[in-house]
A and B are shown apart, each in its own frame.
Chain A
């Protein structure tokens, strides 16, 4: 079968230079990644910051060579035929400041369209059309340096779609945008995929709801490894046979979640201390396990303030696969990389 994107045992190791007296160390950004993305699919790569999403996109967009394995985009090997891959792709990254501030929105977009060989007439026609769709038509003669972050990102989004790529890579496209702007971007992306059924879109995000809302299929990636790959519904369905409860209780006062982890039937416990109370999230093998938890709380004099059972989300899937929430993974990475 012919895939829009395919990777075969793809790996990438970075050599990070140390100081004058320290040896360079190696960072494995991708490990044995095997993915198959079908034509016309909106495929999501979901993972915390530093999971390897951007590295994978860089390899697929011919900006970075893999250290092992192979990757194909539109049926072409990205390492052997980068010149043939490039006319068929485009990329938009969240928070990018590409283009030139002195140029207007229209001029910046026209310039990038020229690099793909579009005529000026065709470029301007498509620019007008796309600016209208994203609601930026009234700002087309504004210098891009005068745009807000949200409007600038809309301009970048238009840049990506302007050249009508076979495969479009969106790397955290809603990063740093407010709720309204993010929603508009998502709506535009979804509509584009519906209107262009033969085009493929690969989206990376660390926003679970975004992946859930937009993507036909999702690959969950952490520490350079693909942990699961399926439709959001199927991924969540894996947890539906389990029971997920969220409890707000009186402060645990040091006893922490370890109190419950060893109870039979408890698969995962997440704990968060709040101002004046504690939040516990349980993934249980079945509903009946909750009885044992409540008993333990009673014996420990822990009062239940609120109890909710909820449908699994991709966040729960991530917790189930990694053992920690995405937020926890990101904050532990921050601690590891912070100086001192």
Chain B
């Protein structure tokens, strides 16, 4: 009887653990936390993520003003400059992140935990997105004030929908590529470097993507920022629609399709990668 009592006391002392969707939500929040808290503790982002993009924005603004380009171009550049923060975040803090987590020893702990890797990745994405919105917001605010950009938003609702699906598709792509990059090991770093600058060009970060021609613009549209940026410019500036690549409803529709594709792709690839890594023993053995 005494041992039974002792056993029930021991069981009662055991911590209560939630499962299912509650565990999923807790994991998302917990993994987002380092990203949210990180920007308060590491202030260097103000220089790297705001000052440096602002310099690029300024250079384009001065060129456009020097050649007498339409005033909309100044606004285009400011929004494009803000969006670079998201692209850098997806590349450096999403795509290559699982590789770094593996090197650090966190990946094995994530996989060994009862939580799903999808929740971990979603947490990374949401934390990164929230932190980057602040950076992008500061660039837009500073750029608009410094270069006297005036906005004439056609539809706030459409703008909101464009922003939501651009982020969903972009971070879905980041989650998907994180799985692929995990299998690349050290080469991941070179791929990230390789993907950074060309996308600024092909996605039209500092000019209307339409200028790249139909085929290049179509190919570049696989990166959600291309269409997202184009739609935002059309909705935020009076002459934006004339410089747009496709109509806003079409761009929204494509962004919705891309969001679904990338998120499902991320889920599928993550499961495949985890299975493959466990079979081959590459989950924690980075040098094998």
Contact = CB atoms under 8 A, between A and B. Distances in A.
Main SS class of interface, B: helix
Interface string B96-140: 000000001110111111110000100000000000000000000
A306 B7 CA distance: 55
Contact of A119 (B18, B111, B278): B18
B105 A97 contact: yes
B112 A61 contact: yes
B18 A83 contact: no
Interface residues of B, number: 40
Contact of A117 (B18, B37, B41, B106): B18
Interface residues of A, number: 41
B219 to A, nearest CB: 32
A110 B42 CA distance: 20
B15 interface: yes
Contacts of A102: 34, 37-38, 41-42
A5 to B, nearest CB: 15
Interface string B269-281: 0000000001111
B190 interface: no
Given A89-B112, A115-B114, A107 B37 contact: yes
Contacts of B26: 114-115, 117
A98 B111 contact: no
A96 B19 CA distance: 27
Contacts of B120: 115
Interface in A300-339: none
A16 to B, nearest CB: 7
B114 A116 contact: yes
Contact of A114 (B29, B106, B111): B29
A116 B42 CA distance: 28
A102 B26 CA distance: 20
A58 B284 contact: yes
A100 B31 CA distance: 11
B92 interface: no
Interface string A80-92: 0001001101110
A116 B37 contact: no
B279 A65 contact: yes
A137 interface: no
Contact of A98 (B10, B19, B27, B104): B104
A93 interface: yes
Contacts of B214: none
Contact of A65 (B18, B29, B33, B278): B278
Contacts of B109: 91, 98, 112, 115
Contacts of B106: 98-99
Given A63-B112, A107-B33, A117 B19 contact: yes
Contacts of B30: 110-111, 114-115
6 contacts: A89-B112, A90-B112, A102-B38, A103-B33, A114-B27, A118-B15
Interface of B: 7, 10, 14-19, 22-23, 26-27, 29-31, 33-34, 37-38, 41-42, 104-106, 108-115, 120, 278-281, 283-284, 288
